[in-house]
Structure 1
Amino acid sequence: MSNDRPSMTRRQCLTTGTVVSFGGMAGCLGRLASSDESESPDDSESSDDVTTPDESSYSGPLQVNGIEHVAGERTVEVTVTVENAGEAARQANLVVALSHTEAEGSIDRKRPVLLASGLEREIVLSFRPKFFGEDGVDRPEDGEFRFDATFENVEVSEDYPGLVTPSDRSAIDGGNAWPGVAYDPGASAHNPGTEAPRSEPTSAWTVSEVEYAYRSSGPVVADGTVVAGRNVRALSVEDGSEQWVHEGPARTTPLAVGEDVVAFGTPEDFRAVEVESGDVRWTISSDGDIWHGPPTVADGRVYTSHGDLHAIDAASGEVDWTADSGGSLAGPPAVTDGVVVSGGEPLRAIDAGTGTVRWTVSAGEPIGAAAIAHDTVFALTESQLVALDLAEGRTRWFAPGPFHEERLVVGNGSVYAQRAGDYRMVSVDAANGNLEWVSGETDGVLGPPSGSNGAIVVNSEQGTLYGFDTETGETLWSTSVPSGVPGSLAVADGVAYFNESNGPLRALTAGK
C-alpha cells in the first residue's frame, strides 16, 4: 500500500483564446500556473511542470467506457468509468484532461487505479478551473468543457491477491451482545444478529447516574448486562437496574468484555474485573503513565496498547508478550485468525501467539482505523480506504476519499465510512471497492458508526442521532439529543445504547 493520493498536474492556467492540442490531449501555451488553491480535500498537487506525452498511442486492456461531468459555479465534477478487459490485474495512472472551447490550454488530473481482471468502476474527480482573460478571472459565458482520459504507467500486478470474497459471519450470543467499542475482535463495528431501530426510536429506559467517559468510548453489552460510565457501572439490559459499581479509579480507556471479565485502563493500572460482580480479578501497573489504548478480548487474551502492544492472559493478568506496534489506531486492535492488526503508520500484522511481526504496510499517512473480515484487512486513512489480504498485506483494492478516519463498519457485504468535506456516510462494496451509495446530508462531523442488519446508527457533534438504511443510504430517522452523544453506540437485541455527555445512559428501541 503506497501513498496513492491523487495528483494534479497544473500544466498552465486556462487563457481565453484558441484551444491548442498535441498528442491527442489538449495542451497549453506558455508557462505553468496554478488554479484555485482551495481545492477539494481529496486533491493534492504536483509542483513540477510536466509535458504530457502522446498518450493517444496507449492501446491495452484498460478502457475508458464513459465520461460524464456536472459543472457548478466553481467546480466541475467528472465521473470516468474505467474497465480492465484483460486477464490479469493491472495498476496505472488514469489521466483526465479538462479544457474549454473558449480557453487556451488544459488542466490534467492523475488518479492511481488498481483494477482486477474484468472489473469496471467509476472514478470521480473534482476540478476548480480558473480562466484568465482580458477582464481578469472569469468563466466564459459561451462554449463548453471538453474532457479526455487515458492511462499511463500501466503495469501488470504480478502478485495480486484477488478481490475480497465476502462471507456470512456469526453473531456473538445470537445478536444479544456488543462486547467491545467496535463490536467483535475483528473491530467490524457490525452486529449481524440484530437490527438497529429503523423508525423513530423511543426510550426503553434512562439511568442518570452513569457518568459520561470521553469521546471515543461507549457502552458494551454481554450476558444480559450493559457496562458503561466513567466509574464503570453494570446495569440490567431489561430495565437499567444497577447490578454493581466499580469502586476503583476512573477508567481512561474504552471497555471490552470477554472471558468473564471487563477490561479497561485507569490512571493507576490496566485491570480486569468480574462481569458478574465487578470484583477486581487482576491489575497491571501503569508505571506512571496513564493507560490509553482501547482493548480487545479474543482467544483468552486481552490486547491493548500502552506505548507498545501487550498481549495479556485474561485469566491471570500475566503479560504473554509485548511488541512494538509502530503507533496506535483510533479504535482497538483488530484480532482474527491468529493475527493482531495494530499501529497507525505503518500498519502492522502481528502474530497473536508470539508477538512477532508478519508484515508491515505503509500508507504514507496515518491509518486511523482498521478492521478484519473476509480474510481481509480494511484500513482507513484521510485520503483512501484500502483492502489488504490478511496473509501478506497485499492490496486487493483501494477507494479514494477523503474520509474521517476515526472508525469504519464492515458488514452486509459493504464497508461504511464517513466522507470528509460534506459529512455524508458512504457505502463501498466490500468485494471490489466500488461506491454503492452516498447518504443524505448530516449536520456535521459524525462519531464512530455502529452497524447492524438493515440499519447503521451514528451520532453527530451537533447532538443528532441518525439511522441510515444499509442498502440505500436513505435516512430512516434522525433525532436530537439535548446534551449530545460524544461517544459511540452499542447495538444489541434491537436496542441502541449510548451515553449522553451530561451523564445519562439511554437505551433506545424501535418506535411503535
Structure 2
Amino acid sequence: MHALARTPAVVVAVVLAAGAAATPTAAAPAPPLWDHVGYDAEDSWFNPRENLITAATAGRLTGKWSVPLRSADTCSSFSGPVVAGGRVFVGDLAGISAYNATNGAKQWSYDWVHSNDGGLPRMAVADGLLVVGYNDCMSVSDPNPALIALDVRDGRKRWSSANPPPVGSMVVDKGAVLVSGTDVNGDSDTVAYRVRDGRQLWKAPGRRVGGSSANGVVAGYAADGTKAFDIVTGAVRWSVKRRLATEAATPVSDVFYAADDKEHLVAVNVKDGSARWTAPGPTSLIAADGTRVYRSDGEAVAALDARTGKQVWRRALSRYAGQPVVAGGVVYAGGIALDAARGTVLPGVPPLGGDLVVTGGVLYQSNEGSLSAYTISGSGRSAGRTGTR
C-alpha cells in the first residue's frame, strides 16, 4: 500500500514578532509521484496528496510544455504516463521513453526488441526500476508476453522474465511484481516475481488475479470461486465460493471493488472476502477515494457512496467517459473536469483528452501522440516554456 505512506507532514512556522505565537503556513506541495498506472498498487486512480490543482483552481490550468512522442509503423499503442523521481515514463509506438518532468526534455528511450512487438504496456516504478509488462500486439493467439525491468536513470534493461503468463493485469507491491492473464484457449495463470532481480516467487495456475493489491493482498478467481493471496509468499489469506474479479481497492486497503458473475459491482472486505454491498451496473473502469466510488458508464460517469453503494450523482457527458481519474477534489472523465462531491462541471478547464495523471501540481497528459504538462497559472509552478518543444 502506498497511499498512507505518501501523506505529507511538513508544516512551516514563521515567527512574526518576538514573543508572538508561531503561525503555520500552507503545506509544501507534494513531489510529483504517480508510480503505478492507477496511481498506486491499489489501482485506485486517486491521488490523495494533490493540493494545488483543485476544484477551486482547475479553471486556471494552462499549458507548460508539450513534446511529440515517438511514432512508428506498428500496431503498438500510446500509453498513459507514470511519474516518479522527476521523470515521466510513457509508452510510445516504438517502445518506452522517459522525459524530464519539469521541462519535457527526453532523457532516454527503450525500443521493443522488434519494432512491432510491443502492445499497450503496463508500467510501475519500484526499487529504481521501471517494471514493464506487455504482449505482442500482432497476434492474439500467440501474444509472446514480456516482463522486463529498466533502470529508471538510463533505460538499460536490468532483467527480463523468460516465460511470463499473458499480461492481462500487472501489479507491483511489497517488492513483488505479479502478472496474470488468460490465453486464447481460456487457460489462466498467475506468477509473482521479485522486483529487484526478476526471480520467481510463486505461481497459481488456473487463477486470474486482478491488477490491484490491498496492502499486499491480491485476489484471483477460477471456476471454484475466489482466493486471496499474499503477493510476496503466495500464502492463501481467504477463500470464498463467489467469483470476484477485482478492479481496484480503497486507499486504506480495507475494501476491494470487484465484478461478480452477474457483472455487478461488489465492495469486498479485504480481510475475509465478505461482501459489504452490491450495486448493479458497470464495473471495469473504477476510481476510489475512500468517500466515493467513481465509475464510467459509457458516455456518463457516476459516483457511489463508498459506505452503501448508493448513487450520489451521475453526469452525462458528450463523449466516452474512459477511466476516471481523481485528485484534488476533481474527477477527470470524458475530457472534462467535475467537482468530485457534486458532479458539477468545473468552468474554465481547457479541453482534455487521452490518458492523464495529476500529481505535484502538474497535470500530465498523453494524447494523440503528444505528452503535455499543465499547471495552474500564477501558482509559481508554471515557470518554463509553454508550447511544443
TM-score when normalising by structure 2: 0.74
> What is residue 425 of structure 1 aligned with on the other side?
301
> What is residue 319 of structure 1 aligned with on the other side?
200
For the aligned residues, what is the CA RMSD?
2.8
Equivalent positions of 1:110-259 (< 5 A) are 169-171=4-6, 174=30, 176-195=32-51, 196=53, 198-199=58-59, 201-211=61-71, 214=77, 217-230=79-92, 231-249=95-113, 251-252=118-119, 253-259=121-127
1:497, 1:344 → 2: CA distance?
A: 37
Does residue 469 in structure 1 map to residue 336 in structure 2? no
Change (3 A) 1:255 1:344: farther
Contact 1:349 1:360 in 2 (8 A): yes
Contact 1:199 1:511 in 2 (8 A): no
Deviation at 1:258, TM superposition (A): 1.1
Change (3 A) 1:221 1:240: same
Give SS of 1:246's match.
Answer: strand
User: Which amino acid is 1:427 matched to?
Assistant: A
User: Which amino acid is 2:337 matched to?
Assistant: G
Equivalent positions of 1:112-511 (< 5 A) are 169-171=4-6, 174=30, 176-195=32-51, 196=53, 198-199=58-59, 201-211=61-71, 214=77, 217-230=79-92, 231-249=95-113, 251-252=118-119, 253-266=121-134, 267=136, 269-286=146-163, 291-306=166-181, 307-324=188-205, 326-327=207-208, 329=210, 333-343=211-221, 346-361=225-240, 367=245, 369-374=247-252, 375-380=254-259, 383-398=263-278, 400-403=279-282, 405-411=283-289, 413-420=291-298, 423-439=299-315, 441-458=316-333, 460=334, 465-477=335-347, 479-480=350-351, 485=354, 488-501=355-368, 503-511=369-377
1:279, 1:202 → 2: CA distance?
A: 34
Change (3 A) 1:448 1:292: same
1:342, 1:323 → 2: CA distance?
A: 9
Contact 1:417 1:425 in 2 (8 A): yes
Contact 1:206 1:506 in 2 (8 A): yes
User: Which amino acid is 1:350 matched to?
Assistant: F
2:87, 2:71 → 1: CA distance?
A: 17
Contact 2:214 2:270 in 1 (8 A): no
Change (3 A) 1:444 1:260: same
1:397, 1:296 → 2: CA distance?
A: 25
**Highest relative contact order (Cα 8 Å, sep 6+), 1 or 2?**
2
Give SS of 1:177's match.
Answer: coil
Deviation at 1:494, TM superposition (A): 2.1
1:418, 1:256 → 2: CA distance?
A: 24
Change (3 A) 1:172 1:222: farther
User: Which amino acid is 1:455 matched to?
Assistant: V
1:147-202 deviation line (CA, Å, top 9, x unaligned): xxxxxxxxxxxxxxxxxxxxx83437845200111111111111100044521532
1:214, 1:362 → 2: CA distance?
A: 37
Contact 1:340 1:352 in 2 (8 A): yes
1:191, 1:248 → 2: CA distance?
A: 31
Contact 1:200 1:511 in 2 (8 A): yes
Change (3 A) 1:411 1:237: same
1:305, 1:417 → 2: CA distance?
A: 23
Change (3 A) 1:294 1:219: farther
User: Which amino acid is 2:4 matched to?
Assistant: R
Change (3 A) 1:339 1:218: same
User: Which amino acid is 2:49 matched to?
Assistant: G
Contact 1:498 1:506 in 2 (8 A): yes
User: Which amino acid is 1:474 matched to?
Assistant: T
Change (3 A) 1:181 1:390: same
Equivalent positions of 1:39-118 (< 5 A) are none
Change (3 A) 1:192 1:325: farther
Structure of larger gyration radius? 1
User: Which amino acid is 2:257 matched to?
Assistant: F
Give SS of 2:122's match.
Answer: coil
Change (3 A) 1:469 1:325: farther
Change (3 A) 1:380 1:479: farther
Identity %: 26
Deviation at 1:363, TM superposition (A): 5.6
- Which consecutive unaligned segments of at least 5 residues does structure 2 have? 9-29, 137-143, 182-187, 379-389
Contact 1:232 1:251 in 2 (8 A): no
> What is residue 151 of structure 1 aligned with on the other side?
none
Give SS of 1:489's match.
Answer: strand
User: Which amino acid is 2:343 matched to?
Assistant: G
Contact 1:210 1:505 in 2 (8 A): no
Give SS of 2:363's match.
Answer: strand
2:356, 2:222 → 1: CA distance?
A: 24
Deviation at 1:293, TM superposition (A): 3.1
Deviation at 1:235, TM superposition (A): 0.5
Give SS of 1:431's match.
Answer: coil
Give SS of 2:40's match.
Answer: coil
1:207, 1:172 → 2: CA distance?
A: 31
1:211, 1:296 → 2: CA distance?
A: 27
1:411, 1:175 → 2: CA distance?
A: 20
